Structure 1
Amino acid sequence: MLLLGLDLAANTGYALGRAGESPRSGSVRVKRPEQALYEAPWGLETFLQDLCLFGNPDLIVYEAPIPLNAAMGDGRARSEDALLMPIKLEQAVERFCLPRQIRWEKVYAATVRKHLLGKSNYGDRQATKNAVFERCKVLGYLPADARIRNKSSDPLYDQADAIAVWSWACAARAKHTPTELFLHGERLSA
């Protein structure tokens, strides 16, 4: 089963692969700061077309956007564009999937983290992001020498979040769990 996991944002993380294999992953900027909001969904759809040029995934799973009322009430300042972008990107995924008859599903971040980490958060937002990033390295989905350079918005966080979504889809939808861990560069049985 070919699965695509997405972390939808201006810098979208992706992980594409079959259950039981390491995914091809990374992040792509679907909207630059100077671009209008309407360009983000177009950028995402163009990227998805390129990514799936040689074959469509069986399932696309993406991290569910934070509900507007929760996003507005969490104390973090956000622009109108920042509040609307996740909804527009979610619609872009659906628009991409419908004519190609690709199944799609959204999954809540807390569900993904509970699967990957054993609990949904590690206290604050930054500690939780670091835990997801480190777990992806332990599972061998990110290089052991990968390092975060920008604590607030490093593209590796987006990539790690997409890998986490992909890992959840492998376990929950393809019924596969990893059999190896990579600790200090060594391959170990899980």
Structure 2
Amino acid sequence: MTVLALDLSTNTGWAAGDPAGTPRFGTHTLPSTGDDVGRYLAKHREWLTAFIQVERPQFVVYEAPILPAQTTKATAIKLMSLAGLTELICRDLEVRCFEAHLQSIKKFLAGSGRATKPDMIAAARRYGFDVRNDNEADAIGIWGHAVMHRFPGRCTLFSMGQLGAGGLPR
């Protein structure tokens, strides 16, 4: 069984793996397209469809989109559309798809719903993940949150919470 977690953005963080194991993770970067939303979404569709066909997850979970206070119309459309397109791709490929909320993910991984990007990176590293950026850290948090709630008996990686990761965050 594979769970795929996505931190959707231009730099999409992903984590994929069996709930009983340790997920693989990385970052997929979409091209800069300016106001060309169609090209941007076409590239996401191309990547995610191929990724799902290779990984064959039973579940896809993604972070619910949150719009920055100051953003352009194109950015707002892109962020919301990534979530909708992800749902559509999963429907077309017959994969169950769910969204997770940012504060729940932050609280799960870093111990606080107000954790910053550096806090999330530090928390992922305490669990032993050599993440390169906050997108990968968020994807690890999304994956861990999803598997602990959907497969609590199978996932041992996060079973001791922050204490198992080397202590509580500052």
TM value normalised by structure 2: 0.84
Q: 1:103 matched to which residue of 2? A: 96
AA of the residue aligned to 2:142? V
**What is the aligned partner in structure 1 of residue 31 from structure 2?**
31
Q: Deviations over 1:34-69 (max 9, x none)?
A: 471212222122112222333421110000012xxx
Counterpart secondary structure, 2:28? strand
SS of equivalent to 1:141:
coil
Q: C-alpha distance in 2, partners of 1:24/1:95?
A: 24
Unaligned runs of 5+ in 1: 123-127, 147-155, 184-190
* Number of residues of Structure 1 aligned to a counterpart in Structure 2: 160
- Following the alignment from structure 2 to structure 1, what is the Cα–Cα distance between the partners of residues 7 and 54? 22
SS at the partner of 2:22?
coil
Alignment of 1:161-176 (within 5 A): 161-175=138-152, 176=155
CA deviation string 1:138-181 (max 9, x = no partner): 112226xx5xxxxxxxxx11111111111111111121242585
- Percent same amino acid among aligned pairs? 24
Q: Which amino acid aligns with 1:109?
A: L
In structure 2, what is the equivalent of residue 42 of structure 1?
42
> Per-residue displacement from partner, 1:18-48 (whole Å, max 9, x unpaired)?
1132211111112324471212222122112
Question: Unaligned stretches of 5+ in structure 2?
Answer: none
Once residues 110 and 55 of structure 1 are traced to their aligned partners in structure 2, the CA distance between those partners, rounded to angstroms, is 27
Residues 1:131 and 2:131 aligned together: no
Which protein is richer in helix relative to its size? 2
Within 2, Cα distance between the matches of 1:50 and 1:101? 14
**CA offsets 1:73-127 (integer angstroms, 9 cap, x no match):** x3xx2111111111110111112111221100011100111111222014xxxxx
Aligned twin of 1:115: 108
The answer to whether structure 1 residue 90 and structure 2 residue 83 are counterparts is yes
User: What's the counterpart of residue 134 of structure 2?
Assistant: 157
The 3 A distance-change label for structure 1 pair 140 and 20 is farther
CA distance in 2 between partners of 1:92 and 1:81 (Å): 16
**Cα pair 1:22 1:141 within 8 Å, conserved:** no
Q: Quick one: distance in 2 between partners of 1:81 and 1:35? A: 5
Instruction: Give the partner amino acid of 1:115.
Output: F
Provide the alpha-carbon RMSD of the alignment.
Answer: 2.1
In the superposition, the TM-score normalised over structure 1's length comes to 0.76
- Tell me how far apart the structure 2 counterparts of residues 172 and 39 of structure 1 sit (CA, whole Å): 35
CA contact (8 A) 1:117 1:135 kept: yes
Runs of 4+ in structure 1 displaced over 6 angstroms? Answer: none
